[in-house]
């Protein structure tokens, strides 16, 4: 079917931010006594808001997750992103195709805080496509894997969720899109992630963002 609206996740879909952010997070958790590998940190935290993992963080560090610590994390995270953030290869063409396909009815629906999402989209030259249509899980009653942020984006675009396409890259995000009632396509550059994404409910997998324009054209 031709989708009425297309809703993009941000981290890992439009910007290659997840290794950067998780390096900062892993280092800061290790400083508080929770040592883990980069791979383990990615598995535990990708797609999830750090605040939502309060119980696990406090249990493994033996220290409270304070607002001061969160603000320090945001500051160190933002500096690292400003230094090293790159756009996902093919994302500009993918977003432009989605913009045309839906007659501008696209949104960015992320589990991250609004400042981070808008900073990243601006840094990589994508903000003009999403200006006024950025949705943060931090501003919802529940963040991903709950569907709230996708439902809010669909409502803003006046598009029924079952007529929306969600572009995600994580199991948590795919779960959120499916729970919203949308069709979910998963950007999956790593073949070892394919099974988990399909089990979470992804309808279509693709390995490069440059493939998205042709996939959308096939639905027209």
Q: What local confidence, expressed as pLDDT, does residue 187 receive?
A: 98
Reported as type and span, the H/E element at residue 16 is none
pLDDT at residue number 194: 97
What pLDDT does residue 192 have?
A: 92
Q: How confident is the model at residue 2 (pLDDT cuts 50, 70, 90)?
A: confident
pLDDT per residue over 95-111, tens digit each? 999 999 999 999 999 99
**pTM, entire model:** 0.93
How would DSSP label each residue in 81-135?
Answer: HHHH--BPTTHHHHHHHHHHHTTS-EEEEESS-HHHHHHHHHHTT-HHHHTT-EE
Q: What is the pLDDT of residues 180-202, one digit of tens each?
A: 999 999 999 999 999 999 999 99
pLDDT tens digits, one per residue of 121-147: 999 999 999 999 999 999 999 999 999
The pLDDT of residue 220 is 77
β-partners of residue 87 are 15
Identify the CA nearest to 11 among candidates 128, 131, 144, 139.
Answer: 144
- Of 12, 14, 83, the closest CA to residue 48 belongs to 12
Q: Which pLDDT tens digit goes with each residue over 13-64?
A: 999 999 999 999 999 999 999 999 998 998 888 878 898 899 999 999 999 9
Q: What is the CA radius of gyration of the chain?
A: 17
On the question of pLDDT at 151 being above 80, the answer is: yes
Contacts of 211 (CB under 8 A, 6+ apart): 90
Across the beta sheet with 5-8, the strand order is 134-136, 106-110, 5-8, 164-168, 183-187, 204-206
- State the number of CA atoms in the 13 A half-sphere of 218 facing the CB: 6
Alpha-carbon distance values, 166 to 107, 145, 173 (Å): 10, 13, 9
**Predicted local confidence at residue 207, as pLDDT:** 97
């Amino acid at each position: 079917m031709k989708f009425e609206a297309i809703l993009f996740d941000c981290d890992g879909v439009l910007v290659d931010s997840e290794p950067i952010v998780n390096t900062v997070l892993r280092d800061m958790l290790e400083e508080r006594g929770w040592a883990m590998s980069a791979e383990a940190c990615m598995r535990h935290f990708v797609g999830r808001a750090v605040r939502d993992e309060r119980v696990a963080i406090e249990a493994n560090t033996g220290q409270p997750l304070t607002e001061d610590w969160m603000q320090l994390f945001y500051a160190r995270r933002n500096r690292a992103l400003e230094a090293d953030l790159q756009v996902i290869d093919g994302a500009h063409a993918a977003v432009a195709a989605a913009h045309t396909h839906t007659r501008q009815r696209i949104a960015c629906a992320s589990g991250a805080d609004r400042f981070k999402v808008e900073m990243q989209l601006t840094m990589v030259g994508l903000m003009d496509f999403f200006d006024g249509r950025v949705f943060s899980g931090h501003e919802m009653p529940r963040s991903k894997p709950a569907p709230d942020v996708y439902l809010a984006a669909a409502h803003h675009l006046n598009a029924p969720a079952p007529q929306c396409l969600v572009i995600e890259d994580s199991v948590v995000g795919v779960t959120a899109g499916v729970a919203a009632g949308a069709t979910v396509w998963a950007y999956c550059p790593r073949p070892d992630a394919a099974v988990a994404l399909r089990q979470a409910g992804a309808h279509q997998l693709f390995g490069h963002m440059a493939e998205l324009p042709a996939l959308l054209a096939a639905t027209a």
